[in-house]
Amino acid sequence: MSLSARKKEILRAVVIDYVKAAQPVGSRTIARRYKIGLSPATIRNEMADLEEMGYLVQPHTSAGRIPSQKGYRFYVDELMEAEILKDEEKVSIRKVFHDRKLREIEEIIKHTSQLLSSLTNYTSLILGPHLKKSAFKKLQIMPVDMQRGLLVLVTDTGFVKNKLINLPQTLSISELSRIVSYLNSKLKGLTIDRITATLIRELRRDLYFHVKFLEDTFTLLEESLAEDERRVFLGGTTNILNQPEFGDIEKVKALLTLFEQHSLLATLLASPVVGVEGVVIKIGKENVLKEVQECSLVMTTYCLGKEVVGTIGLLGPTRMEYSKTVAVLQHVVNSLQKL
Amino acid sequence: MSLSARKKEILRAVVIDYVKAAQPVGSRTIARRYKIGLSPATIRNEMADLEEMGYLVQPHTSAGRIPSQKGYRFYVDELMEAEILKDEEKVSIRKVFHDRKLREIEEIIKHTSQLLSSLTNYTSLILGPHLKKSAFKKLQIMPVDMQRGLLVLVTDTGFVKNKLINLPQTLSISELSRIVSYLNSKLKGLTIDRITATLIRELRRDLYFHVKFLEDTFTLLEESLAEDERRVFLGGTTNILNQPEFGDIEKVKALLTLFEQHSLLATLLASPVVGVEGVVIKIGKENVLKEVQECSLVMTTYCLGKEVVGTIGLLGPTRMEYSKTVAVLQHVVNSLQKL
DNA sequence: ATTAGCACTCCGGTGTTGAGAGTGCTAAGG
DNA sequence: CCTTAGCACTCTCAACACCGGAGTGCTAAT
């Protein structure tokens, strides 16, 4: 069921005003601030309707109205207008992606998340690439001292993983390099999740004469690959403290505690649905996690190369500047993907 | 000037009670809860003296007393008794340091900081090893694809640093390995801060035929070494939210914002003074940083190998369980150093 | 020197009140 | 029939006064 043009106008005004002022907005305010050409009384009637339909709520009788979750949803889906970034914002985005000699993916992501949070004043969440989905590129074992070596693993997404391992003293340099190049040839181009137990057993057979040493290495290799956890990067975690809805310490604590539980955050970001123009918006209770049910999450997936590698999102109160947030997110993700 | 035994008793009681209850403590409470064998009136007189001498303060007339900074200082220096850890606490410490196959220094430190904060409910701060003071151990350049290679640097403290660099396509594998082994032989055993511009210039001369490529590499090497910043690891940053003195959002914000400024934290931890039994306690305004002038910092240095490598501390409100905190810190640092 | 007793102070919680903001309803006007 | 002016009503919030309780400081008695 659709709303009359006038109701839409009013709903929009309520959302915009409430987002800006964080105060329930009354009929008088709308009549004054937004040129709708109607008297407060008429607006009151319309607002009463909107409340009955569930788009607005009243904190108490004789207070102004606040958008409900349904109200925000309608606003986001039908009323919101695309926003254009300010030049200075564009500049600061460009700066981050062009000025720096960023090569490693982790560095890039960290800077991106800082950028997002400073542009929006919300908290940015970035789910990193799925290690298992990226392809093996190169492996190297580099002797460090008599007993130990450093196992270095590089993937095509630019991931670098290293781990100290024990080396048997009997192993000569040339043997080691033979083993390494053998492993490289065998693993080349495989995605990490295809390097399974079976394959490893096979390799182990081929290299049976080094079994003791490899036992160790393979175990570590397996372990580090089994670390399914995708990394989550956060930016601007203290930004929520600026929001009036988080004046209550308990709420702050709940959220900040959530921010430390990266595995939960990963589930939050891992919903792979794609929305309009790639951006998905989850409002309030639409989020499964109860800690963020007073928040909204604006997110999208991003690619490096041609594969989708992760999710990038902004978390703020439901009373959020949706259009601006969407604009920033899209612009930043675009710039990111051009790398 | 020294205090009478009775005054000490009373001061101690005030500190202990206030630490536990976070409420100003009155003469009546002391007479009841702590068997001093004196009437409230006498205690009142002594407390008035203590206040005049600056060990106690009164939030307002007709409230109980609170230890002043000077009061805490006296308590810490003269009254505090060593505390013995509970068995379960010892067990959980042992678990962290023995169960895991932790090799890399970063992993160890991360777990240590989590352990400390969970045992004490304060925020733990660990200043990592000084990269510049650790010795060069091994360097390797590992080709990744046609254009790029991974520069890996290992120090004797177990630090691993890596950086993607560009490789000229004209460079053959054997040339590369010659360069690498030359660099290794030249740099072997030097502490990082001795790898200066002069030395690098010298190396550059020796390898003049690879100048273009090395230009790049050396720049990166320099850069990554110039990163003077020692890493700071935090644990239990949300613990402060449980302290009643941080009921005010503004204070929380100030502290949490500080926690994000690692360079500031590094200065906080970098004061190298050594106190009784190696533990230094900074109370309130004794800290230079204004953000922590309502906090106390209990800290000590730690060694890995025989060199002092870093500082490890616990940050809580001035109303802190000093003796317990000291005990936990000492025990944990001991266990850490046994590795 | 210690302590019982007492007057005094100050905080915090509880009503009470009045102003302000906003609503809903009704009746008049286009 | 839709719009709007007017008005009574409701609810919040800040200010204010008013205890009761906790704790003190002082004095006088032991």
The dihedral formed by the CA atoms of B129, B132, B137 and B143, expressed in degrees to the nearest 10: 100
Average pLDDT over residues A118-141: 88
- Nearest C-alpha of chain B: how many angstroms from A103? 6
Lookup: nucleotide whose C1' is closest to A45 CA: C24
Average pLDDT, chain A: 88
Look at residue A180 in the predicted model and tell me its pLDDT.
85
Query: Which pLDDT tens digit goes with each residue over A289-334?
Result: 999 999 999 999 998 877 778 899 999 999 999 999 999 999 999 9
Q: Give me the domains of chain A, ranges plus CATH numbers.
A: 5-79 (1.10.10.10), 87-129+230-338 (3.30.450.40), 132-226 (3.30.390.60)
Encoded amino acid at B160, one letter: V
Per the model's pLDDT, the better-predicted residue between B222 and A29 turns out to be A29
Look at residue B162 in the predicted model and tell me its pLDDT.
79
Structure tokens at B285: 């305004």
Query: Which pLDDT tens digit goes with each residue over B192-236?
Result: 777 766 777 777 777 766 666 666 666 666 666 666 668 899 999
- Decide if pLDDT at A100 tops 90: no
Residue with tokens 């004196």: B38
Which residue in B117, B140, B242, B250 has the most chain A C-beta atoms within 10 A of its own C-beta, making it the best mutation to test that interface?
Answer: B140
Residue with tokens 């005990």: B327
Encoded amino acid at A280, one letter: V
Verify if strand C has an atom below 7 Å from the CB of B63: yes
Give residues with Cβ within 8 angstroms of A216, minimum separation 6: A165, A166
Look at residue A106 in the predicted model and tell me its pLDDT.
83
Average pLDDT over residues B135-157: 83
Residue A230 binned pLDDT confidence (cut-offs 50, 70, 90): confident
**A137/B contact by beta carbon, under 8 A:** yes
Average pLDDT over residues B306-335: 94
DSSP-derived secondary structure letter, A287? S
The C-alpha atoms of residue B187 and residue B228 are separated, in whole angstroms, by 19
The C-alpha atoms of residue A41 and residue A38 are separated, in whole angstroms, by 8
The C-alpha atoms of residue A132 and residue A307 are separated, in whole angstroms, by 13
Give residues with Cβ within 8 angstroms of A120, minimum separation 6: A236, A314, A316, A321, A324, A325, A328
Look at residue A276 in the predicted model and tell me its pLDDT.
66
Per the model's pLDDT, the better-predicted residue between B36 and B74 turns out to be B74
**A1/B contact by beta carbon, under 8 A:** no
Look at residue B178 in the predicted model and tell me its pLDDT.
83
Look at residue A132 in the predicted model and tell me its pLDDT.
74
Query: Which pLDDT tens digit goes with each residue over B234-276?
Result: 999 999 999 999 988 999 999 999 999 999 999 999 876 666 6
Query: Which pLDDT tens digit goes with each residue over B290-302?
Result: 999 999 999 999 9
- Decide if pLDDT at A268 tops 80: yes
Residue B317 binned pLDDT confidence (cut-offs 50, 70, 90): very high
Query: Which pLDDT tens digit goes with each residue over A182-226?
Result: 888 888 878 877 776 677 777 777 776 666 666 666 766 666 666
Residue with tokens 């392809």: A135
